[in-house]
Structure 1
Amino acid sequence: MDGMVLLYVGISPKRPPANGDSASKQTLRSRVRYHHRGNAYGSTLRLTLGVLLADELGIGLRRVGSTGSRLTFSDGEAVLNDWMAAHARVCWVEDPQPWLLETPLIEGVDLPLNLAQNAHGNFHAELSQARARQRELARSLPVLPR
Protein backbone atom coordinates (compact mmCIF):
# COMPACT_ATOMS: atom_id res chain seq x y z
CA MET A 1 0.00 0.00 0.00
CA ASP A 2 2.25 2.78 -1.26
CA GLY A 3 4.99 2.26 1.31
CA MET A 4 2.69 2.12 4.33
CA VAL A 5 3.73 -0.09 7.23
CA LEU A 6 1.55 -1.65 9.92
CA LEU A 7 2.76 -0.26 13.26
CA TYR A 8 0.06 -1.20 15.78
CA VAL A 9 -2.70 -3.76 16.29
CA GLY A 10 -5.57 -3.33 18.71
CA ILE A 11 -8.82 -5.17 19.24
CA SER A 12 -12.34 -4.41 20.33
CA PRO A 13 -14.05 -5.74 22.24
CA LYS A 14 -11.53 -7.33 24.57
CA ARG A 15 -11.82 -10.97 25.64
CA PRO A 16 -14.89 -11.53 27.85
CA PRO A 17 -14.03 -12.08 31.52
CA ALA A 18 -13.62 -15.73 32.52
CA ASN A 19 -15.49 -15.07 35.78
CA GLY A 20 -18.81 -14.55 33.98
CA ASP A 21 -18.92 -10.77 34.43
CA SER A 22 -20.42 -8.71 31.63
CA ALA A 23 -18.47 -8.54 28.41
CA SER A 24 -17.18 -5.21 27.13
CA LYS A 25 -19.76 -3.17 25.23
CA GLN A 26 -17.03 -1.29 23.40
CA THR A 27 -17.16 -1.46 19.62
CA LEU A 28 -14.45 -1.20 17.02
CA ARG A 29 -15.94 2.13 15.97
CA SER A 30 -15.83 3.58 19.49
CA ARG A 31 -12.26 2.35 20.01
CA VAL A 32 -10.97 3.83 16.76
CA ARG A 33 -12.78 7.10 17.51
CA TYR A 34 -11.16 7.26 20.94
CA HIS A 35 -7.71 6.57 19.50
CA HIS A 36 -8.21 9.49 17.08
CA ARG A 37 -10.02 11.98 19.32
CA GLY A 38 -9.61 10.86 22.93
CA ASN A 39 -6.63 11.34 25.20
CA ALA A 40 -3.49 9.50 26.25
CA TYR A 41 -5.08 8.36 29.52
CA GLY A 42 -7.53 6.13 27.65
CA SER A 43 -5.49 5.18 24.59
CA THR A 44 -2.13 3.46 24.72
CA LEU A 45 -1.72 4.24 21.02
CA ARG A 46 -2.15 7.99 21.67
CA LEU A 47 0.23 7.77 24.62
CA THR A 48 2.86 6.08 22.46
CA LEU A 49 2.49 8.45 19.51
CA GLY A 50 2.54 11.49 21.77
CA VAL A 51 5.67 10.29 23.56
CA LEU A 52 7.46 9.60 20.28
CA LEU A 53 6.37 12.91 18.72
CA ALA A 54 6.60 15.10 21.83
CA ASP A 55 9.62 17.12 20.75
CA GLU A 56 8.50 17.44 17.13
CA LEU A 57 4.97 18.54 18.10
CA GLY A 58 5.94 20.58 21.14
CA ILE A 59 3.75 18.56 23.51
CA GLY A 60 4.40 16.78 26.78
CA LEU A 61 2.64 14.38 29.09
CA ARG A 62 1.09 16.06 32.15
CA ARG A 63 -0.88 15.10 35.24
CA VAL A 64 -4.40 16.50 35.05
CA GLY A 65 -7.58 16.65 37.10
CA SER A 66 -8.36 17.07 40.76
CA THR A 67 -6.21 14.14 41.93
CA GLY A 68 -3.50 14.38 39.28
CA SER A 69 -3.70 10.66 38.64
CA ARG A 70 -4.59 10.99 34.95
CA LEU A 71 -1.78 11.53 32.47
CA THR A 72 -2.66 13.24 29.19
CA PHE A 73 -1.04 15.63 26.76
CA SER A 74 -3.48 18.30 27.99
CA ASP A 75 -3.78 20.99 25.29
CA GLY A 76 -1.35 18.93 23.22
CA GLU A 77 -4.09 16.35 22.61
CA ALA A 78 -5.53 18.67 19.93
CA VAL A 79 -2.10 18.91 18.31
CA LEU A 80 -1.87 15.11 18.36
CA ASN A 81 -5.39 14.91 16.83
CA ASP A 82 -4.23 17.09 13.94
CA TRP A 83 -1.08 15.03 13.42
CA MET A 84 -3.06 11.78 13.41
CA ALA A 85 -5.62 13.20 10.96
CA ALA A 86 -2.81 14.06 8.58
CA HIS A 87 -0.64 10.96 9.01
CA ALA A 88 -2.38 7.98 10.65
CA ARG A 89 -4.34 5.46 8.64
CA VAL A 90 -6.67 2.78 9.96
CA CYS A 91 -7.66 -0.57 8.54
CA TRP A 92 -9.65 -3.29 10.21
CA VAL A 93 -10.80 -6.85 10.05
CA GLU A 94 -14.11 -7.84 11.55
CA ASP A 95 -14.15 -11.00 13.63
CA PRO A 96 -16.62 -12.12 16.31
CA GLN A 97 -13.71 -13.13 18.57
CA PRO A 98 -10.91 -10.66 17.83
CA TRP A 99 -8.92 -11.68 20.93
CA LEU A 100 -8.14 -14.94 19.13
CA LEU A 101 -6.39 -13.00 16.34
CA GLU A 102 -4.47 -10.49 18.46
CA THR A 103 -1.72 -12.71 19.92
CA PRO A 104 -0.79 -14.47 16.65
CA LEU A 105 -0.65 -11.10 14.87
CA ILE A 106 1.57 -9.51 17.50
CA GLU A 107 3.82 -12.57 17.62
CA GLY A 108 4.06 -12.91 13.85
CA VAL A 109 4.47 -9.31 12.66
CA ASP A 110 6.94 -6.64 13.74
CA LEU A 111 4.62 -4.09 15.38
CA PRO A 112 6.84 -1.44 16.95
CA LEU A 113 4.05 0.51 18.65
CA ASN A 114 2.57 -2.48 20.50
CA LEU A 115 4.01 -3.13 23.96
CA ALA A 116 1.62 -5.71 25.39
CA GLN A 117 2.50 -9.24 24.26
CA ASN A 118 5.41 -7.80 22.29
CA ALA A 119 8.48 -8.09 24.52
CA HIS A 120 10.22 -9.77 21.57
CA GLY A 121 9.78 -6.66 19.40
CA ASN A 122 12.85 -4.76 18.21
CA PHE A 123 11.55 -1.42 19.53
CA HIS A 124 9.99 -2.67 22.79
CA ALA A 125 12.78 -1.64 25.20
CA GLU A 126 13.30 1.77 23.61
CA LEU A 127 9.57 2.54 23.57
CA SER A 128 9.13 1.36 27.16
CA GLN A 129 11.97 3.63 28.27
CA ALA A 130 10.62 6.63 26.35
CA ARG A 131 7.17 6.20 27.90
CA ALA A 132 8.70 5.81 31.38
CA ARG A 133 10.75 9.01 30.92
CA GLN A 134 7.63 10.97 29.89
CA ARG A 135 5.68 9.63 32.89
CA GLU A 136 8.53 10.50 35.25
CA LEU A 137 8.76 14.04 33.83
CA ALA A 138 4.98 14.50 34.06
CA ARG A 139 5.00 13.42 37.70
CA SER A 140 7.69 16.02 38.48
CA LEU A 141 5.54 18.87 37.12
CA PRO A 142 2.56 20.58 38.77
CA VAL A 143 -0.90 19.11 38.20
CA LEU A 144 -2.94 20.95 35.58
CA PRO A 145 -6.52 21.80 36.58
CA ARG A 146 -8.28 19.90 33.83
Structure 2
Amino acid sequence: MNDRNELGSVVLPGTRRAPAQAREHLAKWLSGLPACDADTRDTVVLLLSEIVTNAVVHSESGCEGGKVAVRAETVQGSIRVEVTDEGSATNAPHLAPIHCDVEGGRGLHLVAAMAEDWGARSGIRGQTTTWFSVLLAGAAEESRPAVLA
Protein backbone atom coordinates (compact mmCIF):
# COMPACT_ATOMS: atom_id res chain seq x y z
CA MET A 1 0.00 0.00 0.00
CA ASN A 2 2.66 2.51 -1.07
CA ASP A 3 0.38 4.73 -3.14
CA ARG A 4 -1.97 7.39 -1.90
CA ASN A 5 -5.61 6.45 -2.16
CA GLU A 6 -8.18 9.13 -1.37
CA LEU A 7 -11.03 7.78 0.75
CA GLY A 8 -13.13 10.94 0.64
CA SER A 9 -13.37 14.66 1.29
CA VAL A 10 -16.11 17.02 2.39
CA VAL A 11 -16.55 20.68 3.34
CA LEU A 12 -18.87 21.23 6.30
CA PRO A 13 -20.41 24.31 7.88
CA GLY A 14 -18.42 25.29 10.98
CA THR A 15 -21.27 24.66 13.39
CA ARG A 16 -21.68 22.53 16.51
CA ARG A 17 -22.95 19.75 14.20
CA ALA A 18 -19.65 19.63 12.27
CA PRO A 19 -17.95 17.00 14.49
CA ALA A 20 -20.93 14.61 14.20
CA GLN A 21 -21.21 15.20 10.45
CA ALA A 22 -17.47 14.60 10.01
CA ARG A 23 -17.69 11.36 12.02
CA GLU A 24 -20.57 10.14 9.81
CA HIS A 25 -18.64 10.84 6.60
CA LEU A 26 -15.42 9.26 7.84
CA ALA A 27 -17.17 6.14 9.16
CA LYS A 28 -18.78 5.70 5.74
CA TRP A 29 -15.46 6.15 3.92
CA LEU A 30 -13.71 3.68 6.24
CA SER A 31 -16.48 1.07 5.86
CA GLY A 32 -15.26 0.47 2.31
CA LEU A 33 -11.69 -0.20 3.46
CA PRO A 34 -11.22 -3.91 4.22
CA ALA A 35 -7.83 -3.33 5.91
CA CYS A 36 -9.45 -1.10 8.57
CA ASP A 37 -10.59 -3.11 11.59
CA ALA A 38 -13.14 -1.86 14.13
CA ASP A 39 -10.55 -0.67 16.67
CA THR A 40 -8.67 1.34 14.05
CA ARG A 41 -11.92 2.81 12.74
CA ASP A 42 -12.99 3.84 16.24
CA THR A 43 -9.60 5.47 16.90
CA VAL A 44 -9.59 7.39 13.63
CA VAL A 45 -13.17 8.60 14.10
CA LEU A 46 -12.44 9.72 17.71
CA LEU A 47 -9.33 11.66 16.68
CA LEU A 48 -11.18 13.31 13.80
CA SER A 49 -13.94 14.37 16.19
CA GLU A 50 -11.40 16.01 18.51
CA ILE A 51 -9.75 17.97 15.70
CA VAL A 52 -13.01 19.11 14.09
CA THR A 53 -14.26 20.22 17.51
CA ASN A 54 -11.07 22.24 17.97
CA ALA A 55 -11.53 23.79 14.51
CA VAL A 56 -15.06 24.95 15.34
CA VAL A 57 -14.23 26.15 18.86
CA HIS A 58 -10.78 27.73 18.35
CA SER A 59 -10.72 29.03 14.75
CA GLU A 60 -12.64 31.38 12.50
CA SER A 61 -14.45 28.31 11.15
CA GLY A 62 -16.80 28.58 14.13
CA CYS A 63 -17.92 32.07 13.10
CA GLU A 64 -21.02 32.65 11.02
CA GLY A 65 -20.49 31.27 7.53
CA GLY A 66 -17.30 29.43 8.56
CA LYS A 67 -16.32 26.11 7.00
CA VAL A 68 -14.28 23.05 7.95
CA ALA A 69 -12.80 20.75 5.29
CA VAL A 70 -12.11 17.07 6.02
CA ARG A 71 -10.04 14.79 3.81
CA ALA A 72 -8.99 11.17 4.38
CA GLU A 73 -6.64 8.92 2.45
CA THR A 74 -4.53 5.84 2.83
CA VAL A 75 -0.78 6.36 2.59
CA GLN A 76 1.82 3.59 2.98
CA GLY A 77 -0.20 1.38 5.30
CA SER A 78 -1.74 4.25 7.30
CA ILE A 79 -4.93 6.24 7.29
CA ARG A 80 -4.15 9.96 7.09
CA VAL A 81 -6.85 12.49 7.97
CA GLU A 82 -6.59 16.24 7.43
CA VAL A 83 -8.88 18.92 8.85
CA THR A 84 -8.53 22.40 7.37
CA ASP A 85 -10.10 25.29 9.24
CA GLU A 86 -10.19 29.01 8.53
CA GLY A 87 -7.36 29.76 10.95
CA SER A 88 -7.10 31.96 14.00
CA ALA A 89 -5.20 35.17 14.56
CA THR A 90 -4.52 34.19 18.18
CA ASN A 91 -4.36 30.39 18.40
CA ALA A 92 -2.54 27.62 16.51
CA PRO A 93 -2.93 23.91 17.32
CA HIS A 94 -0.58 22.98 20.16
CA LEU A 95 -0.39 20.72 23.20
CA ALA A 96 -1.49 22.90 26.08
CA PRO A 97 -0.75 22.02 29.70
CA ILE A 98 -3.49 19.90 31.25
CA HIS A 99 -5.20 21.40 34.28
CA CYS A 100 -7.18 19.00 36.48
CA ASP A 101 -9.85 21.57 37.27
CA VAL A 102 -10.54 22.49 33.61
CA GLU A 103 -12.96 20.42 31.54
CA GLY A 104 -11.37 20.88 28.09
CA GLY A 105 -7.88 20.96 26.66
CA ARG A 106 -7.24 17.24 26.23
CA GLY A 107 -8.17 16.68 22.57
CA LEU A 108 -4.72 17.12 21.04
CA HIS A 109 -3.23 15.07 23.87
CA LEU A 110 -5.48 12.20 22.73
CA VAL A 111 -4.33 12.75 19.16
CA ALA A 112 -0.66 12.79 20.20
CA ALA A 113 -1.08 9.62 22.28
CA MET A 114 -3.17 7.57 19.85
CA ALA A 115 -1.92 8.60 16.40
CA GLU A 116 1.17 7.25 14.70
CA ASP A 117 2.03 10.87 13.86
CA TRP A 118 0.31 14.26 13.77
CA GLY A 119 1.00 17.89 13.05
CA ALA A 120 -0.34 21.21 11.81
CA ARG A 121 0.59 23.62 9.06
CA SER A 122 -0.56 27.07 7.98
CA GLY A 123 -1.93 27.72 4.52
CA ILE A 124 -1.43 30.71 2.25
CA ARG A 125 -4.88 32.14 3.01
CA GLY A 126 -4.53 31.87 6.78
CA GLN A 127 -6.11 28.45 7.06
CA THR A 128 -4.72 25.82 9.38
CA THR A 129 -4.54 22.15 8.44
CA THR A 130 -4.23 19.74 11.34
CA TRP A 131 -3.51 16.15 10.34
CA PHE A 132 -2.87 12.76 11.88
CA SER A 133 -2.10 9.26 10.71
CA VAL A 134 -2.98 5.90 12.24
CA LEU A 135 -1.49 2.59 11.14
CA LEU A 136 -3.84 0.11 9.56
CA ALA A 137 -4.00 -3.20 11.44
CA GLY A 138 -2.08 -5.20 8.80
CA ALA A 139 0.61 -2.53 8.56
CA ALA A 140 0.97 -2.48 12.35
CA GLU A 141 1.61 -6.22 12.34
CA GLU A 142 4.20 -5.88 9.55
CA SER A 143 6.04 -3.10 11.41
CA ARG A 144 6.52 -5.15 14.59
CA PRO A 145 9.86 -6.93 14.95
CA ALA A 146 9.78 -10.69 14.66
CA VAL A 147 9.98 -12.59 17.94
CA LEU A 148 12.37 -15.49 17.89
CA ALA A 149 11.33 -18.54 19.84
What range describes the TM-score normalised by the shorter chain of this pair?
under 0.3
Q: Which has the higher helix share?
A: 1
TM-score by length of 2: 0.28
TM-score by length of 1: 0.28
